[in-house]
Structure 1
């Protein structure tokens, strides 16, 4: 079992269907006595992590349509307003727009997603203001410990709640996936000097070593580095047949181009934080085929959204029909945020009571397009782990798009279907 104490130093920082600028839509009936609930939504629609926000315009459109007639809650019909903000992939901007939602829009609830740079500042702003916040897609250790919680002590958070994968889910995914290709079990790692990289270095590395892997770590690099020659030379010299990294997307593009030029081709190239979305992978060109990655949602998931009623397949197909783009795994958690939010509002005697709403979330159990989310059952208070599943980018054999992501293992959720086995990259 990984010691969470090793993660205490994790810092707070770890084309869309709608407009990129923040927008709001006061949809729904007039309500009884003009009652209205305002939900804020914060995600990175522009900037270095904009791939995460790519499908959010579509998700917001679907949520607004589903809530267009308002919600009947505790004997009243409330109109629902959703106000969305772009964090621009910047922590300061995320804090600013969240405070704007709180102070100018008077939100009753904030939803936040995608990377510590967006989610942690939004969560901190909500905690300070006493506004409920539900968030996702940040390794939970970086969200919980990175914001000041300490192992073995009561949670300092009363208004902020989070569902996402963690180090243990990565560990299970990697060991399940990598066992499908014979290697010398030497892993060259490129883990950056940021919240994600530092948490992974302190926790995932020791877990992999216990599984018999040798970690070859040239040391933390600075985000934005443009010369990875020394790292590549080390990986080649030590014959690292497995490669793993958690970089910002532009950094991996630079590294992977240089690795190809300098002749480094591992048998397994496992990437996280980038390579999640087809737009990032296509930008790499032919060298992207065979990259191993992870997915926390795909259209093959056997779950449906509780708010809209759509299945995972219908969610992916609907996105493609509306935008002409290939499905994006962020469709799942962004949709699940609204599944959880509406379930929490329905379960609160007075949904305008912020403390009462936060208390409801603390023990909420509800179905989502990701599966069942059950707060109060996680490894620490305020957190529910979700699965992440290993797979590989391949040339598509059917359909309108050139690449496809195929799930190769399901150690974190046996209900998720496996399509194939991992093939060697080199």
Structure 2
């Protein structure tokens, strides 16, 4: 479905969102660390939130980085030359200023050949901006694509706004499709109480997603943007109760949702559907809510049932999840898929470029790249614009785990963005379990 948005709406959405270790893989290669631009080492920077409010996204980083190191231990061959590979990872601390700082350090001090970054606009957008300004090719993910594209200053009529920065992720249309197919599975009065924050994610969702949901016949009850870090949501809860809202939707940072949901329970607001995004993505976030987390609905941009595999490591969905369990003792985390996909893109782009030390050439290669990853086949140049590949987000719900090793598990209830991924259940009314 086409999104009908005015130029003003898109411009209002321009802020959308939602200690480094060098990992060197230099085993028996046919070249040394020469300074000659056509030999030696390729350096890949990787920036993600390992600590801070968005730390849940970084939980699988160590495992993914280990997979990438092993896969790249033999180096890469491009243009007839073999290169060793170094991965330099940095923690953004979930802070935009820190993200920009570590990105600039990787660019200026470490001279990375390619930048990778993931998870929330607070990390991804500053890293992408630093890379674009310095002429360093960069690939990013796990920020709604409108947040990344328009949030960095692209105009609505621009189809090729950036020369060096590329992105793959779901967008507003995928959220719209998910909600439109998922929410009718539970009978409601179609009144949606929304808590969309006064940040880049919330403001763009308000401008773009709200009207789409209204076109589907949902009534949006919006008490207005709130400030991240709010500790009293009594006014919003009272409004939702007074309006009789039977669906709740929010795009909050994890601490804010935990505060709101506990206060909602205390004050008697119990919607039939509780749908959250940006939080409620990972088992650790749901477990922290105790019984209040059971029945919360969320979105998934990767699960072990995705029928795709990494072109770099050859790991499919189940083997990726099982390997993570074996290595860490933890159940799968959906960030495994897109984080590994970044390295699939990196390896494919570098090897497909005649001279991978030529940053502009690598950027041009990414712009026409076609690569298999755990989240599916990524093909740049197919739209929605030259810099972006739109990927699926599917609907699911947290239930009590049937595996004695885990407290909760996530089951898919909706797959409109990618019917190749099977569903396992129907959405159940919150509180009925």
Match of 2:37 in 1: none
C-alpha distance in 1 between matches for 2:84 and 2:231: 50
- Which residue number in structure 2 is paired with residue 32 of structure 1? 31
2:397 aligned to 386, 392, 395, which one?
392
- Secondary structure in 1 matching 2:13: coil
Q: Distance in 2 between matches of 1:153 and 1:170?
A: 23
- Residue 55 of structure 2 aligns with which residue? 50
Secondary structure of residue in 1 paired with 2:45: strand
TM-score, with structure 1 as normaliser = 0.97
User: For 1:54-93, what aligned pairs fall within 5 Å after superposition?
Assistant: 54-93=59-98
Q: Is the 8 A contact 1:13 1:120 kept in 2?
A: no
- Equivalents in 1 of 2:399, 2:159: separation in Å? 46
- Structure 2 partner of 1:2: 3
Q: Is 1:171 equivalent to 2:176 in the alignment?
A: yes
Residues 155-194 of structure 1 aligned to structure 2 (within 5 Å):
155-194=160-199
Cα contact 1:361–1:375 (8 A) shared by 2: yes
SS in 1 for 2:226: coil
Extract unaligned runs of 5+ from structure 1: 15-20
TM-superposed CA distance for 1:108, in Å, is 0.1
Offset of 1:346 from its aligned partner? Answer: 1.4
Counterpart CA distance in 1 for 2:4 and 2:153 is 16
RMSD: 1.1
User: Could you say what secondary structure the match of 1:179 adopts?
Assistant: helix
Q: 2:351 aligns with which of 346, 350, 370?
A: 346
1:51 to partner: Cα distance: 0.3
Q: Which runs of 5+ in 2 are unaligned?
A: 34-39
DSSP-derived class of the 1:243 partner? strand
Once the two structures are TM-superposed, the CA of residue 378 in structure 1 deviates from its matched residue by 1.6
Moved runs in structure 1, 4+ residues, more than 4 A? none
- What do residues 47-70 of structure 1 show as CA deviations (whole Å, max 9, x unaligned)? 000000110111001100111111
**Partner Cα separation in structure 1 for residue 379 and residue 417 of structure 2:** 16
Residue 279 of structure 1 corresponds to: 284
1:263 matched residue in structure 2: 268
Question: Any residues of structure 2 matched to 1:406-417 within 5 Å, and which?
Answer: 406-417=411-422
The one-character-per-residue Cα deviations of 1:5-52 (angstroms, maximum 9, x if unpaired) are 3232335573xxxxxx21012212344353110000000000000000
8 Å CA contact retained: 1:240, 1:266: yes
Partner SS, residue 12 of structure 2:
coil
Distance 2:159 2:104 in 1: 26
Secondary structure in structure 1 of the residue aligned to 2:308: coil
TM-score after normalising by structure 2: 0.95
Select between 159-168 and 376-385 the one with higher mean Cα deviation. 376-385
